[in-house]
Chain A
Amino acid sequence: MTTLVPLGAFIALSAALFFIGFAGVLVRRNAVVILMCVELMLNAANLAFVAFSRRLGLLDERGSVFVVFVFVVAAAEVAVGLAIVLALYRNRPTVDVDEVKEMRG
């Protein structure tokens, strides 16, 4: 009988990675790096989904199905986000979100 890793450890790792990405979004100024940090946050949420789905034993694999939908949304998000960054870069050669003032309301 192998020792199982407790569910709380997976959730804590997921939360830690989520807040690493969160801090990156707040701290970094490069738009591409901010996109990467958003991807880290989405992936941390995926880990929580899968951990609850496999270990809480209430929802049979439906959490994993949500992960598939998160994959879809993440792919769409990164495609559109990079398109916006490229369109901005074409107007002014910078990806520093502090220097981009065109999109301010």
Chain B
Amino acid sequence: MSLDLIEPILFGLLAVMILGAGLGVVLADRITTSALLMAFTFLNMAGMFVLLGAETIAAFQVLIYVGAITVLILYGVMFTPQAPRSYGLFFQKQTPLGALIAALAALPVMAVAFAFRDSGRLPARGGDLVPIATSVFKDFAFPFEVASVLLLAAMIGAIVLVRRDEE
């Protein structure tokens, strides 16, 4: 068997795992399960980036999403313990309406999504680190600086929000 179909097979596997784990995040009863399934979704998404030839983005994805954000969310889960009760997800009054709105919004978008075709030029093989770095520091130098201000503001805001008042 040749390696002819390796990309579609990998895409199918990753897509099934991404969608399954994503549904699990929404439907899981335990919050810790949701958090770990979210990390699994992000890990498979990194595989999808590798499949697209964006290795640097995949590395960032593993570092930031699977590493930092998942740990932050897990800390959030641990700091807010809930009384063990079933959420009764399918018997809330907003569940049917919410699912209906999501399905109605998704239908036209999915119809449009399949219509996209690749343009003629195939992507250049080889690392994407140099083009990204060049673009960040040439075309996007100002947004790069703004992003640093945003991170500083978010850090200060988070510290101020969770600070206990000394009395």
- What is A's interface to B at a CB cutoff of 8 Å? 1-24, 26-30, 32-33, 35-37, 39-40, 43, 46-47, 50-51, 53-58, 60-62, 64-65, 67-69, 71-80, 82-87, 89, 93-95
Q: How many A-B residue pairs have CB under 8 A?
A: 250
- Given pairs A22-B106, A61-B135, 13 additional interface contacts (CB within 8 A): A5-B11, A8-B115, A30-B87, A36-B73, A40-B41, A64-B54, A65-B132, A68-B132, A75-B64, A83-B159, A85-B80, A87-B162, A89-B80
5 cross-chain CB contacts under 8 A: A16-B19, A21-B26, A72-B147, A80-B157, A86-B80
Point out residues on B near A: beta carbons under 8 Å. 3-8, 11, 15, 18-19, 22-23, 25-26, 31, 34-35, 38, 41-42, 45, 48-49, 51-54, 56-57, 60-61, 64-65, 68-69, 72-73, 75-77, 79-80, 82, 87, 89, 92, 94-95, 97-99, 101-103, 105-106, 109-110, 113-123, 128, 131-132, 135-136, 139-140, 143, 147, 150-151, 153-155, 157-159, 161-162
Taken together as a complex, chains A and B put the C-alpha atoms of A60 and B138 apart, in Å, by: 13
From A12, A39, A71, contact of B110 by CB (8 A): A12
Measured CB to CB, the closest approach of chain A to B97, in angstroms, equals 8
Most buried by A among B3, B18, B57, B95: B57
